[in-house]
C-alpha cells in the first residue's frame, strides 16, 4: 500500500502542506490536511477520468485546505485581538473553504473502484431503509439524478439521514455549503459533487450523463456503515 | 387629496390598486395578445432565438479556444434559449421583452422559474458582445476619463476587476456597471444568474465566471482566465457604445469641452 502511494504520487500535495501545518499547530491553531485518496487517480475510469480526479484532488481540494487553514489563522488572530469586524468578515471564507474540505473528504470515501466493489447496491439496513423511504433503489437514483441535474450553478446533491427522525432524504446544497446547513440532524451518507469542475473535462455540459455514470463507482458499503453507526 | 397628503408623508402611500390605470394597461395588453391568438386560425407565436457572436468561433484564440466557444455558445447558451422557450409556452411571461422578463422574474430576490433561463440568455449574449478578437489593452477618450474619475486610474480598475473576479465564491459573473443612484462606474460580482438589470443598474461589460467558461482552457486557473480577458479580449469599442447609451439615462455631469 505504501509503495503504491509513493508511485502514484498522490501524497505530494499533502506532504507540501504538512510543513505549513506543523508550524500553525505550534501556535495552537488546529489546521486541516489534504487527505489521501484510498485509490489511484485512474482507478475510477471510465466513470470519472484520471485527469479529473487528479485536478480535483491536487488543485481544487488542496486549495480549499490551504485557504481554510489561512482563514483559520486569520480568525485566530482576529479573535485574540478582539477584532469583531474581521471575525465576521472571515465567515464566508471559512464556510466556503471549510465546507469544501468537509464535502470533498466525504466525497473521496463515497467513491470506490469497480474492481473493489464500487457500484454494488446497498444491502441490509441501508437497503431496507431506502426501499422504505423512497419506494425502491431505482427511485432513489432517479430522484438524486433529477435533483442533481436541476441544481442551478454549483453545489452538491446528498443522500441524507435525519438521525433524529431516522429518515432518509435527498437534499441539495449550494456552492460548498455542508449538508448540516440544511438541518442540524442531517448526516451525509452520500454526496455527489455537481460543480462543473467535477465533470466538465469528460462530460462537458452533459451533467445528466455524469450523474448516471457515477453510480458505477459509488461506495455503498461506506454509506451503509455511516448509516448503521448513526441509527445505532 | 389623498395622493397629496401621502406625498407629504401624512398618510401611508396608497396600495397598488389605487393606481388601476397602470395595471389595467398591462392586463389589457395580455388580453389583446390572447384574444388575437384565439381569433386567428394560424397562430403566430414568437420565441427567443440564439444570436451568433459577432466574430468567428475561433477568433478569440489563443485566449479562449474554439472548442470552448463552440461548447459555451453552441451548447450552454443554446440550452438556456431552448429551456426558456419551453417554459414560455405555458408562462405568463410570454410576449415580454427579455429585459422586462429579467426585471419581473427576479421578483425582488425570490426568482421565478423563468428567471434563470432568461437571465442566462441575456448574460451570455452580453458576454459574447463584450469581447472582440485582438482587443483588450486600455480604453481611450471618454471611457478612460470616466474610469480614471471613478477608480483613480486604469491600473486600479484592472486590479479591482481581477480581485473581484477571484473573490467570487462559486458560479457567477463579474460586471462593470454604471450605477444609477451613485452615477459612477463600479465593479460588481453577481452569483449564478443574477443580473445588474434586476438590481436597477446599467451593465457595461461582463465576464462569465462559471467554470464551464474557462475549465477546458485554464482548468482551475481562474486568475489567468480573468487576466487574459481584461488584457486581450474585452472590447472597449463595445464598452464605449454602451457607455454612450448609458449616459442617456444617467447624468454623469457636464462634459469637458476644451476652450479654444
- Span B72-114, pLDDT tens digits: 999 999 999 999 999 998 989 988 999 999 999 998 889 999 9
What CA–CA distance (Å, rounded) separates A45 from B128?
35
Q: What pLDDT is stored for residue B34 in this prediction?
A: 54
Model confidence, pTM: 0.84
Using an 8 Å Cβ cutoff, are A41 and A201 in contact?
no
Residue B203 in grid coordinates = 451593465
Closest CA relative to residue B147, chosen from B98, B195, B205: B205
- Span B14-68, pLDDT tens digits: 444 444 444 444 544 554 555 445 554 567 777 888 999 999 999 999 999 999 9
Task: Using a pLDDT cut of 90, give the percent of chain B over it.
Answer: 68
Residues of chain B with Cβ-Cβ distance to A205 below 8 Å are 71, 75-76, 79, 212
Q: What pLDDT is stored for residue A112 in this prediction?
A: 95
Is B173 an 8 Å CB contact of chain A? no
Closest CA relative to residue A179, chosen from A116, A102, A231: A102
Q: Which residues of B102-115 are buried (b: 16+ CB within 10 A; e: fewer)?
A: bbbbbeeeebbebb
Cross-chain Cβ contact A153/B210 below 8 Å = yes
Give the mutation candidate from B76, B192, B213, B218 for the A interface (greatest A CB count, under 10 A). B192
Q: How many CB atoms lie within 10 A of CB B30?
A: 14
pLDDT at B258 over 90: no
Give residue B12's pLDDT band: very low, low, confident or very high (50, 70, 90): very low
For B250, phi then psi, to 5°, come to: -125, 125
Highest mean pLDDT: which of A17-26, B47-56, B153-162? Answer: B153-162
Which residues are bridge partners to B175 per DSSP?
A: B188, B206
Q: Which of B210, B212, B219 comes nearest A55 by C-beta?
A: B219
What CA–CA distance (Å, rounded) separates B193 from B117?
8
Q: What pLDDT is stored for residue A30 in this prediction?
A: 87
Give residue A23's pLDDT band: very low, low, confident or very high (50, 70, 90): low
- Tell me if residue A76 falls in helix, strand or coil: helix
Using an 8 Å Cβ cutoff, are B191 and B170 in contact?
yes
Closest CA relative to residue A193, chosen from A105, A130, A116, A128: A105
ipTM metric: 0.85
- Span A154-169, pLDDT tens digits: 999 999 999 999 999 9
Amino acid at each position: 500500500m505504501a509503495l503504491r502511494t509513493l508511485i502514484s504520487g498522490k501524497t505530494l500535495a499533502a506532504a507540501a502542506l504538512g510543513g505549513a501545518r506543523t508550524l500553525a499547530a505550534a501556535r495552537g491553531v488546529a489546521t486541516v490536511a489534504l487527505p489521501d485518496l484510498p485509490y489511484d487517480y485512474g482507478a475510477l475510469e471510465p466513470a470519472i477520468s484520471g485527469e479529473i480526479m487528479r485536478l480535483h484532488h491536487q488543485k481544487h481540494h488542496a486549495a480549499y485546505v490551504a485557504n481554510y487553514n489561512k482563514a483559520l489563522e486569520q480568525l485566530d488572530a482576529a479573535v485574540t485581538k478582539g477584532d469583531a469586524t474581521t471575525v465576521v468578515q472571515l465567515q464566508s471564507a471559512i464556510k466556503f473553504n471549510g465546507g469544501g474540505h468537509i464535502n470533498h473528504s466525504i466525497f473521496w470515501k463515497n467513491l470506490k473502484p469497480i474492481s473493489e466493489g464500487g457500484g454494488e447496491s446497498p444491502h441490509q439496513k441501508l437497503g431496507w431503509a431506502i426501499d422504505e423511504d423512497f419506494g425502491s433503489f431505482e427511485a432513489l437514483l432517479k430522484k438524486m439524478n433529477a435533483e442533481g441535474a436541476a441544481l442551478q450553478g454549483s453545489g452538491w446533491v446528498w443522500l441524507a439521514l435525519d438521525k433524529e427522525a431516522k429518515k432518509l432524504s435527498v437534499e441539495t446544497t449550494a456552492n460548498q455549503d455542508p449538508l448540516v446547513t440544511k438541518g442540524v440532524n442531517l448526516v451525509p451518507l452520500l454526496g455527489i459533487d455537481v460543480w462543473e469542475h467535477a465533470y466538465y473535462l469528460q462530460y462537458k455540459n452533459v451533467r445528466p450523463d455524469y450523474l448516471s455514470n457515477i453510480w458505477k463507482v459509488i461506495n455503498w458499503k461506506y454509506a451503509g456503515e455511516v448509516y448503521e453507526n448513526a441509527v445505532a | 387629496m389623498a395622493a397629496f397628503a401621502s406625498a407629504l408623508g401624512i398618510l401611508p402611500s396608497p396600495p397598488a390598486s389605487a393606481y388601476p390605470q397602470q395595471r389595467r394597461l398591462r392586463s389589457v395588453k395580455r388580453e389583446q395578445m390572447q384574444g388575437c391568438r384565439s381569433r386567428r386560425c394560424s397562430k403566430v407565436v414568437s420565441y427567443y432565438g440564439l444570436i451568433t457572436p459577432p466574430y468567428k468561433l475561433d477568433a478569440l484564440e489563443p485566449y479562449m479556444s474554439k472548442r470552448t466557444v463552440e461548447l459555451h455558445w453552441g451548447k450552454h447558451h443554446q440550452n438556456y434559449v431552448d429551456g426558456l422557450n419551453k417554459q414560455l409556452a405555458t408562462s405568463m411571461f410570454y410576449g415580454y421583452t427579455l429585459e422586462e422578463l429579467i426585471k419581473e422574474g427576479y421578483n425582488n430576490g425570490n426568482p421565478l422559474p423563468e428567471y434563470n433561463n432568461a437571465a442566462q440568455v441575456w448574460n451570455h449574449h452580453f458576454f459574447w458582445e463584450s469581447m472582440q478578437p485582438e482587443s483588450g489593452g486600455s480604453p481611450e477618450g471618454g471611457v478612460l476619463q470616466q474610469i480614471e474619475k471613478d477608480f483613480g486610474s486604469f491600473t486600479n480598475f484592472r486590479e479591482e476587476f481581477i480581485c473581484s473576479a477571484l473573490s467570487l465564491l462559486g458560479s457567477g459573473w463579474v460586471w462593470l456597471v454604471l450605477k444609477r443612484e451613485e452615477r459612477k462606474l463600479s465593479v460588481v460580482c453577481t452569483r449564478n444568474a443574477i443580473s445588474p438589470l434586476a438590481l436597477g443598474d446599467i451593465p457595461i461589460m461582463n465576464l462569465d465566471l462559471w467554470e464551464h467558461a474557462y475549465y477546458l482552457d485554464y482548468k482551475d486557473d481562474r486568475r489567468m482566465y480573468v487576466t487574459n480577458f481584461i488584457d486581450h479580449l474585452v472590447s472597449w469599442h463595445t464598452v464605449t457604445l454602451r457607455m454612450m447609451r448609458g449616459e442617456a439615462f444617467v447624468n454623469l455631469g457636464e462634459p469637458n469641452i476644451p476652450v479654444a
